[in-house]
Amino acid sequence: MTTTYPVTDTAPPFGVKVKGLLPDGFHDCARVYDQRRQVVVWYVKRNGTTERFVEEGGSFGSSVIACWRPKNPTAWKAPLPPPVIAQPDVQWAQPIAAPEPLEKEPDQWWRIANAVKVSTVGLITPREVEGRIMRAVMTEHSFAAADTIIERSTLTWLARMIELQEMIEGKRPTYWNDRFIPSARDLSDFPRMIPWLTAVAMHSERYASILRMRGSHPAWTFTQIAKELGGGRNKAASDYGRAVLFATKVANDVRTKEVAIARRKMAELREARR
19 in Cβ contact with 76 (< 8 Å) = no
Sign of CA dihedral 141, 147, 153, 159: positive
225-269 per-position pLDDT tens digit: 999 998 888 899 999 999 999 998 888 876 555 566 666 666 666
Lowest mean pLDDT among 87-96, 206-215, 233-242: 87-96
Of 34, 55, 89, the residue that ends a domain is: 89
Coil, strand, or helix at residue 232? Answer: coil
Coil, strand, or helix at residue 199? Answer: helix
Residue 239 shares a structural domain with residue 253 = yes
For the chain, the maximum distance between any two Cα atoms, rounded to a whole number of angstroms, is 68
Coil, strand, or helix at residue 175? Answer: strand
120 in Cβ contact with 176 (< 8 Å) = no
CA distance 72 to 77: 10
4-40 per-position pLDDT tens digit: 888 877 788 888 889 888 777 788 898 888 777 777 8
pLDDT for residue 172: 54
55 in Cβ contact with 39 (< 8 Å) = yes
- Highest mean pLDDT: which of 60-64, 120-124, 145-149? 120-124
Residue 149 shares a structural domain with residue 178 = yes
Name the residue range of residue 210's domain. Answer: 93-274
- Please spell the DSSP secondary structure of 72-84, one letter per residue: SGGG--S--PPPS
Residue 240 shares a structural domain with residue 156 = yes
Q: Is the whole-model pTM more than 0.85?
A: no
Residue 4 shares a structural domain with residue 64 = yes
Is there a domain that residue 108 lies in? yes
- pLDDT for 77 beyond 50: yes
Residue 148 shares a structural domain with residue 265 = yes
Residue 85 shares a structural domain with residue 101 = no
Number of structural domains in the chain: 2
pLDDT class of 156 with cuts at 50, 70, 90:
very low
The pLDDT mean for the chain works out to: 74
187 in Cβ contact with 181 (< 8 Å) = no
- pLDDT for 181 beyond 60: yes
41 in Cβ contact with 32 (< 8 Å) = yes
Is there a domain that residue 76 lies in? no
Of 89, 123, 155, the residue that ends a domain is: 89
Residue 183, burial from CB neighbour count under 10 angstroms (0-12, 13-18, 19+) = buried
